[in-house]
Amino acid sequence: MKTPGSNFVSWFGLGFILALILVSAYFEMAALESFLIIVFILCLIAFLWGKLSLTKMELKNQGEDCCGFPGATLEAEFSVKNRKMLPLIWLDLVLPIGKKTCIEQPDKDEEEGEGSKKTRSLRSTFLWLMPHQTIRWKQTALAVHRGVCRVEEATLHSGDGFGLSTQTLRRKLEQSLRFVVYPKLVDVDVSPILNKLTEMESARNGFYTDRTLLETTRDYREGDSFKNINWRLLARKDELHVNVYEKLTMRRVCFMPDLMSFTHVEEIIDGNERREERVVETENMEEMFSLMASLMVKLHEKGVLCSLVVPAIGEKSERVIMPESAETQIMELLGALAEIEYDAESMRLPLEAIDMNRHKLGRLYVLSRDAKRSCLSECLPGVEELGAISIFQESPSGEDGGDGSYFSETDLRIQ
C-alpha cells in the first residue's frame, strides 16, 4: 500500500507533469520546459525510490516470551536487513498492540488511526540502512498491568530521501511475540497457610527427603548411592555406612479464583431502553490476583509446591496446572495468572477435575470477593468435601480470622 507524500509523486502526477512539458515544448517555452523536465526527473526518482524502498527487506525476531512485573521494562530482540543495493535513508517500524493492552511505549504515547479507532503501538525509527546492512536492536516496552499482549505482525514505513514518497508494508512476524505481565506483588504473611499444612494427613501426599536432617546410619548395601556414604565413619572405622535422612511430607497448596464473585448487576440506561448487565469489579479482581501471586511466591520460598485451578470461563474449558519442578513452578503459575481474561462470563467450578487430582494439588484455597457473592454458595457441599478453605477480601463476619474454614485478606496481607 503506497501513501504518497506529494501529489506529483504518483502515476497521475507524473503524467500531469509530462503533459505540461509537451505543452511548453509546443509553445516553445524553453525556460519552463527545462524547469518542468528537472521537476519530472526529481519526482520520477522519488517515485521509484519510494516504490522500491521496502522490497527485499528481511525482518526477524526471537519468539521468546518477554515477561515481567508491572513497572518493569520488557525487551524483545529484533533484526532487519536491507537485501538490495538501494540504501534506505530512514525506516520506521511499528508494532501494533491494540487498544486494550498491558504494555505501552516507554516515555511515549504513540497512537495511530483516527477517532475512536486509535491503536496503541511500539515504534522504532532508524536512519541510513545501507545495502546489505543488518541492524539489531532490542524493542522495549513498559509493563503497565497484568495481562498478555500478542504481537503477530509489524508495519514498515520508508521512502525516498526527499520526503516526497513514502511506502507502507505490513509483514507477519516469523514467530509470534508475547509480552507477559505478571500480577503485581504485595507483602504477605503465609504463616496461617503454613500452620494449616501441618494439620494435613501425610498419607494424602508424597514425601521428600531433607538432607539436612540425619535420622540414622546403616550398613552399605549394593545399589546404594555414593552420595549417601558416611565418609567420616569410613575414615574412623574403615567400614562402609550410608546415611538415612528423615522423610518429611511434601507440602502442597492449590489456589482457585472465584471470578464470578467479583461481578455485580448494574442497570444500564441506553436512550429509552433500560437493561441489567453484569459488570466486573476490575480493581478488586486485580487485587485478588496480586494476593494470589504473592502467596505463591512466598510459599515457593518456604519450599511449598503450588498449583492452580482456572475455572471454565464461558466457552473456555478449565485448566488444572500442576508444575512438577519446584525451580520453574513460579514462572509457570504467574504466566497462567497473567493469561486469565474475564469479562463477566458464566463460570463453572471443575470439582471433578479437582477431586481426581486432589493427591497432587494439596490443600485447596478459593479466593473470593465476599461470602454473599461467592459462587461457592451454590455448590458448597461439593467444595466442603474437597476440604476447600476460602480467602475473602471481605470476611463473612466482618472480623479477621474466622473459624478455620476461611481467611480474610487482612489475615494474609502485611499492611
| Residue 299's pLDDT band (cuts 50, 70, 90) | very high
Mean pLDDT of 313-341: 88
User: What pLDDT score does 380 carry?
Assistant: 44
* Per-residue model confidence (pLDDT) at position 204: 40
* Residue given cell 528537472 in the structure block: 38
Within this chain, do residues 21 and 74 fall inside the same structural domain, yes or no? no
* 9 in the same domain as 98: no
Q: What is the mean pLDDT of residues 55-69?
A: 90
Q: Is residue 193 part of a domain?
A: no
Whether 195 maps to a domain, the answer reads no
Q: Do 318 and 228 share a domain, yes or no?
A: no
pLDDT of residue 5: 58
Beta bridge partners of 270: 273
Do 75 and 157 lie in a common domain? yes
Q: What is the pLDDT of residue 110?
A: 46
Residue bearing cell 521468546: 64
Q: What is the pLDDT of residues 68-120, one digit of tens each?
A: 999 999 999 999 999 999 889 899 999 998 877 899 988 755 444 444 344 58
- Clarify whether residues 220 and 260 are in a common domain: no
Confidence of residue 377 (pLDDT cuts 50, 70, 90): low
Residues in the chain: 415
pLDDT of residue 324: 75
Q: What is the pLDDT of residue 203?
A: 36
| Contact partners, residue 231, CB within 8 Å, separation at least 6 | none
Strand order in the sheet with 134-143: 57-61, 73-82, 134-143, 103-104
Which residue shows C-alpha cell 503485581? 184
Q: What is the mean pLDDT of residues 30-34?
A: 87
What would the pLDDT profile of 236-290 be if each residue is shown by its tens digit? 777 788 887 655 445 788 899 989 889 888 887 777 788 888 889 999 999 999 9
- For residue 167, the cross-strand partners are 2, 158
Q: What is the dihedral of CA 217, 220, 222, 227, to 10 degrees?
A: 70
Q: Is-contact 81 195, C-beta < 8 A?
A: no
Q: Are residues 262 and 332 in the same domain?
A: yes
pLDDT score at 248: 47
Is 261 found in the same domain as 315? yes
User: Among residues 17, 37, 52, which one ends one of the domains?
Assistant: 52
Q: Tell which wins on pLDDT, 393 or 146.
A: 146
For residue 278, the enclosing domain spans 252-412
Domains held by the chain: number: 4
Whether residue 263 sits in one domain with residue 155: no
198 in a domain, yes or no? no
Q: Which of 10-14, 22-26, 329-333 has the highest mean pLDDT?
A: 329-333
Query: Are the C-beta atoms of 81 and 122 separated by less than 8 Å?
Result: no
Assign 58 a pLDDT band (cuts: 50, 70, 90).
very high
Q: What is the mean predicted confidence (pLDDT) over 307-324?
A: 87
pTM of the predicted protein model:
0.76
Q: Is residue 186 part of a domain?
A: no
**pLDDT band per the 50, 70, 90 thresholds, residue 400:** low
Could you tell me what percentage of the chain is helix, strand and coil, using 3-state DSSP and rounding each to the nearest 5? 30, 40, 30
pLDDT in tens, 197-219: 765 433 344 444 545 456 677 78
Amino acid type, 165: S
Average pLDDT, the chain: 81
What pLDDT score was predicted for residue 333? Answer: 94
- pLDDT score for 153: 92
What is the predicted pLDDT for the residue at 136? 94
| Same-domain pairing of 276 and 147 | no
Percent of the chain exceeding pLDDT 70 equals: 83
Q: Which three cell numbers stand for residue 280?
A: 466486573
Does the residue 201 lie in any domain?
no
Amino acid at 367: L
* Whether residues 66 and 27 fall in one domain: no
- Regarding whether 176 and 221 lie in a shared domain, the answer is no
Looking up cell 522423610 gives 247
Q: Judge whether 311 lies within some domain.
A: yes
Interatomic CA distance for residues 300 and 294, integer angstroms = 10
